[in-house]
Amino acid sequence: MSVPSSESDEWIEVLRPVGSILAEQLEQRFKVRSPERDDERPLVALALADFLKDDPKPLTELMLLADNDREFQPLMLALRNHRQSVVPELQALLSQSRPDGVERDAFWKKQANTAICLLELDETDSVLWPLFQQTPDPSLRSFIIDRLALLGANPATLSRQIRQASDLSSRYALVLALSQFDLGKMSSQQKKELVEQLASLYRDDPEPGVHSAAGWTLRNWQQEQIASQIDTDATEFGSEQGSELVRQFSGSDLHHGQWSR
């Protein structure tokens, strides 16, 4: 199944009259996650998002399997039209425990896709953001951090939450999630705003975990010069502070041995 991406819309339009007939076979092709099918799955996702646009149940099942933004976003766009019915189903899925016999990574992948779908549907406050908090089992949080950029989530949403979140472990996880995004795919304005935000966190945030994550993110974004300058400024500031303390004590009773007994 090979069609140039530039011709995908035309191809889908031609096949739309028989889309309901083709859907079952296309679903099976999408569900085969072998590397040999990697190139065709984005096109299959586009076709199924069109052919199944009135049927949210199979769209949801397919969305849970998506491994990149080209697979996830077409299905996500189709699900937006069914938000009222889809959100409760996704919330129920997210509350499930891993059933016996279900492979661990496959389960957490689907859970992470569910959470990111809720993020894309703007259903975040009571469902998604608490998942960034530290828990005894960090599996779901780790999968969400890893897959947000992969599935094409909007980094601006994470940026806003970093400013609003009070839980330190959540802020740490959100900054790590931002590190996975590719600055080269952002507008110059969005890139500028995010780099400035991360530089501010690296320079000023008192929480060691957030500070370290911000530094890692800047360097992962190839912003070594900014991170190094902040390191230099911090070193110089520390030296100045130390020198000032020496000057303050140089004429004090401490200097004259008042407290040497």
**What is residue 35's DSSP assignment?**
G
Q: What per-residue confidence (pLDDT) applies to 9?
A: 86
8 Å CB contact between 188 and 179? no
Is the domain of 23 the same as that of 110? Answer: yes
Task: For residue 10, give both structure tokens.
Answer: 């035309």
Q: What per-residue confidence (pLDDT) applies to 162?
A: 96
CB neighbours of residue 110 within 10 Å: 21
CA atoms 126, 65, 160, 163: torsion sign = positive
Question: What is the crossing angle of helices 188-204 and 208-220, to 10°?
Answer: 140
Tell which of 133, 153, 173 closes a domain. 153
Burial class (CB in 10 A: 0-12, 13-18, 19+), 17: exposed
Task: For residue 149, give both structure tokens.
Answer: 């950029």
Query: Distance between CA atoms of 88 and 56, rounded to whole angstroms?
Result: 12
Is residue 261 included in any domain, yes or no? no
Is residue 54 included in any domain, yes or no? yes
Is residue 175 included in any domain, yes or no? no
Q: What per-residue confidence (pLDDT) applies to 237?
A: 65
| Amino acid identity for residue 37 in this structure | R
Q: What per-residue confidence (pLDDT) applies to 4?
A: 60
Is residue 15 included in any domain, yes or no? yes
Residues 6+ apart with CB under 8 A from 234: 203
Is the domain of 91 the same as that of 135? Answer: yes
8 Å CB contact between 48 and 72? no
Q: How far is CA 85 from the centre of its chain?
A: 24
Is the domain of 190 the same as that of 85? Answer: no
Tell which of 109, 131, 153 closes a domain. 153
> Domain range for residue 221?
184-255
Query: Distance between CA atoms of 170 and 173, rounded to whole angstroms?
Result: 5
Counting as low any pLDDT under 70, the low residues of the chain are 1-6, 237-261
Is residue 124 included in any domain, yes or no? yes
Q: What per-residue confidence (pLDDT) applies to 210?
A: 96
